[in-house]
A and B are shown apart, each in its own frame.
Chain A
Amino acid sequence: MSEPAVHVDGLLKVFEVAERDEGLKAATKSLVRRKMREVRAVDGISFEIEPGEIVGFLGPNGAGKTTTLKMLSGLLYVSGGEARVLGHIPSKRERDFLRRISLVMGNRNQLQWDLPALDSFELNRSIYQIPRPDFLALRDELIELLEVGDLVRKPVRQLSLGERMKVEIVGSLLHRPDVLFLDEPTIGLDVTMQKRIREFVGEYRRRHGATVMLTSHYMADVEALCERVVVIHHGRILFDGDLAALADTVAAWKTIAVALENGAGDLSGYGEVIHRDGDLVTLRVPKAETARVTARLLAEQEVVDLNVEDPPIEDVIELVFARESVE
């Protein structure tokens, strides 16, 4: 059995932050006696990611997603526990390790601001010691995949946010990393650009077999790309498994959207009415009851249209956060 690409066991990250009340009196007092508070940004998480897997990290702001990625990419030292990526301890920041990973963070510039992206790509080739034929082949492939051919000759500062994000991604992948950490890569981008980047990540992984860890606020990112999702909140893992299994485990209901012929009467006898808009009613029913309720509606009501759906994944995730544990 091959070694996991990412192995995390009891990972802990604690920050010490200074805090004080507002005002001059409190500021003066803090000169003499500073009050420190311990923040457990990551609180003993454990998981493994096999080579070639693509895993989504979901969690609200401050959950510990980005801190986890930063520890796994070697930016932060761990406070406790163990982390290994491709067999390396990330915080040692060995050259062989850094050559095989990439961390792409939304809204971050790693390219030279004043120069065309092509010049920055050349700099990266030199830093990562990429053989020229390999570099040119992958560079051209990435430029074509992300459709940035007409952007790479312009100074990076003249590109829009979405254009800059695309060329940043090209720059981050030129050394063909085996592990790709994507921290909210679509943040701030329009819908078209988000879709483009998702398609690209999927295609890159398919072509090069990279292992991908992705954090995002956007469910569409996770649903489009991730077979497996890890839900993290307050530094702890609440769920780790299939996205579909998450819904099955946490949200044991389905929604039935039914459009009726001549106005809806009282449908509360069929299930919980969660939305009503004229003739259109949405019901929430226990999963086990779905078939029976659907049959009753069709038999007893004048149904124009009926849709049975799994609960929106956003609702499921919110439920996970609210419960803060998943059995």
Chain B
Amino acid sequence: MRTEMQAQFQYRAATYMYLLGMVAEPVIYLVVWSTIADQSGGAVGGLTAGQFAAYYIVWTLVRTMNIVFTPYGWEWRIREGQLSGQLLRPLHPIHYDVAQFAGGKIPWLVYYLPIAAILTVVFHPTFDVRPAEIVVFAVAIWGAYLIRTFNQSALGLVTFWTTRVGALFSLYIVLELLLSGRLLPLTLMPGWVQTLAWLLPFRWTFYFPIEALVGDLSNAELLAGLGMQLFWTLIGIGIFSLVWRHAIRRYTAVGN
């Protein structure tokens, strides 16, 4: 983790550019939904412009935290033989990835704060936060990180069998956009989508952390949400471990 922090602090400008690019996505959603809310008498689906602003500003922080090593990264690593260096160490590559990306979060959080301040000044979010919500949020963003890590890494291992992981990842992103709260708050989605979202892990990678901070969940609901994140993390670890055991036998260490 420390090594990645040092690396991230080396490239301040690049990190800022990346963060600004990432913030563009939620700002677009925010502007669109705020406009619709204003034009619909001040609210859409029970959410005011101020609540949309709060949702998407917290979204940017959650998004910063749940960036993980993607299937494209696995594809590159396997195809170019870069996995060899990691396989020679007495440390599972996933352990390395979790630590590396977690270490990167700390400097990114530092860079993110001024961006959050600007967004707050510009969009006037409505915040009504309890201490318990802050604590649960601080844990939930790491839960979101772990669920996405293991899901996307399991997907990345498909590269051992096929070079078509890009197509599978695109499908994953579409599902995530619709079912995670990444595109819009899940309460605005049709009932069947909300039901489906409860049955899949995506909800716990975006919507739950955001809802924990800006929603109105009871303490029991907050704890239950953390429990669901733990459940999906363990599922993700299980699937990854199972696929890894079969995948690594196919490694041909090409490239070097």
A-contact bits for B2-18, CB 8 A (1 contact / 0 none) = 01001100110000000
Chain B contact-residue range equals 10 to 19
Given contacts A75-B87, A105-B256, A128-B90, contact A112 B3 (CB under 8 A): yes
Residues on B with beta carbons closer than 8 Å to the beta carbon of A98: 88-90
Most A CB contacts (10 A, CB to CB) among B84, B87, B90, B249 go to B90
Bound Cα distance A122, B3 (Å): 9
- Contact (Cβ within 8 A) A99 B249: no
Q: Is A31 part of the binding interface, using a Cβ–Cβ cutoff of 8 Å?
A: no
- Contact (Cβ within 8 A) A74 B7: no
- Contact (Cβ within 8 A) B88 A74: yes
A-contact bits for B79-111, CB 8 A (1 contact / 0 none) = 000001101111100000000000000000000
Given contacts A95-B90, A114-B7, A114-B10, contact A108 B251 (CB under 8 A): no
Interface hits, B162-211 → A, CB 8 Å: none
- Contact (Cβ within 8 A) A115 B3: yes
Bound Cα distance A76, B7 (Å): 31
Given contacts A98-B89, A108-B85, contact A75 B253 (CB under 8 A): yes
Picked from A76, A96, A101, A122, the residue with its CB within 8 Å of the CB of B252 is A76
- Contact (Cβ within 8 A) A93 B87: yes
- Contact (Cβ within 8 A) B256 A75: no
Bound Cα distance A15, B254 (Å): 11
Residues of A in contact, count (CB < 8 Å): 29
Smallest beta-carbon distance A24→chain B, Å: 19
Q: Is A229 part of the binding interface, using a Cβ–Cβ cutoff of 8 Å?
A: no
Smallest beta-carbon distance B68→chain A, Å: 19
Given contacts A70-B253, A75-B251, A108-B256, contact A103 B88 (CB under 8 A): yes
Given contacts A112-B3, A114-B11, A115-B7, contact A127 B251 (CB under 8 A): no
Residues on B with beta carbons closer than 8 Å to the beta carbon of A93: 87
Q: Is A107 part of the binding interface, using a Cβ–Cβ cutoff of 8 Å?
A: yes
Residues on B with beta carbons closer than 8 Å to the beta carbon of A123: 3
Bound Cα distance A292, B47 (Å): 106
Bound Cα distance A77, B252 (Å): 9
- Contact (Cβ within 8 A) A75 B88: yes
Interface hits, A113-164 → B, CB 8 Å: 114-115, 119-120, 122-123, 127-128
Bound Cα distance A109, B87 (Å): 14
Bound Cα distance A237, B37 (Å): 77
- Contact (Cβ within 8 A) B88 A102: yes
Bound Cα distance A103, B3 (Å): 22
Q: Which residues of A contact B (CB under 8 A)?
A: 15, 70, 73-77, 93, 95-96, 98-99, 101-103, 105, 107-110, 112, 114-115, 119-120, 122-123, 127-128
| 9 A-B pairs closest in CB distance | A98-B90, A95-B90, A110-B85, A75-B253, A123-B3, A77-B249, A99-B90, A127-B91, A108-B256
Known: A112-B3, A115-B10; 8 extra A-B contacts, CB below 8 A, are A73-B88, A93-B87, A102-B88, A103-B88, A105-B84, A110-B85, A115-B7, A127-B90
Q: Which residues of B contact A (CB under 8 A)?
A: 3, 6-7, 10-11, 84-85, 87-91, 248-249, 251-253, 256
27 contacts between A and B (CB under 8 A): A15-B252, A70-B253, A73-B88, A74-B87, A75-B84, A76-B252, A77-B249, A77-B251, A93-B87, A98-B89, A99-B90, A101-B88, A102-B88, A103-B88, A105-B84, A105-B256, A107-B256, A108-B85, A108-B256, A109-B85, A110-B88, A112-B3, A114-B11, A115-B6, A115-B7, A115-B10, A123-B3
